[in-house]
Amino acid sequence: MSAADARAVAAFERHLAAERGLSPHTLRAYVSEARRLAESPECTRAGGLARVDALGVRAYLAGFHRAHKASTRNRRLAALRAFFRFAVKTGVRALDPTEGLPGARAERRLPGPFSFEDCERLIEADDPERAPGLALRDRALFEVLYGTGVRVGELAKLRVRDWDAYRGELRVVGKGNKERVIPLPGQSRDALEAWLRSRPAEGRLAQPLFTNARGGALSDRGVRVILRRRMLVAGVAGRASPHALRHSYATHLLDADVDLRAIQELLGHERLSTTQRYTKISPERLSRAYRSAHPRAKG
């Protein structure tokens, strides 16, 4: 990689860290992708990042066609789009070579939410081997995950001060540092308050809302471990994915005839199309819609 390309990649990294509000994982992935392109034969032959054209970028991405899924190739393209837009904005380039490049067509997979009954079993499950404090935490954890639909990464960032007990709302900071406020159902509020009362009051506001055994923030992996244990206790089959609770939250709201745009706001999605892919319309809702709308189904 040339010195000019190294400077361009370093400036891109500073921009992402200071202005975009990306997660550390996404930031590293974007910078690594720009660096990989700079070191590629396609870029070297063209004379560097300031000169590589659309054909060069396309040839670079084509090298991953067999080795990676469509979703991975699209993430690579998204990283390069971000880099070249920044390059145009800062005057390193006049044109963006990724403009108009089509993304790979990813296979659409229907999300696999838990049924309402399975969600109830996960929340209500009695684990006799759990210590009382951990039992309170686990109950509150699943009440909040299913009661708000927050991402696990968002959950890990929550502090006790983000909980407004008077209003019964959680302040959540999502992707791109966008903030949203989510109301909690009554039973979720009660479970969360019981968990908080079990913890020492001193300095509590600054502490993570959900803690592990050492008092640190509960991680994504920690939530998966707890969910796997809970599913065994509750007799719920399936893959132990916390994201399934987010799918369940969205799908069950949709089944209750909540407006899709309201669900979009609650989930923190930038685009409505993302929310549409996220939700799974149940056969019950389709049947209900048919009976109420089709003239031959009435009566």
Q: Which residues are catalytically annotated?
A: 151, 175, 243, 246, 269, 278
Give, to the nearest 10 degrees, the angle between helix 116-124 and helix 220-234.
100
> Order of strands across the sheet with 179-183?
163-164, 169-173, 179-183
Listed residue (4, 23, 43) closest to 175, CA to CA: 23
Helices marked H in the chain — which ranges?
3-15, 24-38, 41-46, 54-62, 70-89, 116-124, 132-148, 152-157, 186-197, 220-234, 242-255, 260-267, 272-278, 283-293
In 3-state terms, what secondary structure has residue 178? coil
Contacts of 75 (CB under 8 A, 6+ apart): 29
273: which 2 tokens?
Answer: 């199309």
Classify the C-alpha dihedral 19-220-150-289 as positive or negative. positive
Q: How many CA atoms lie within 13 A of 286 on its CB side?
A: 4
β-strand 169-173 against 179-183: which pairing, if any?
Answer: antiparallel
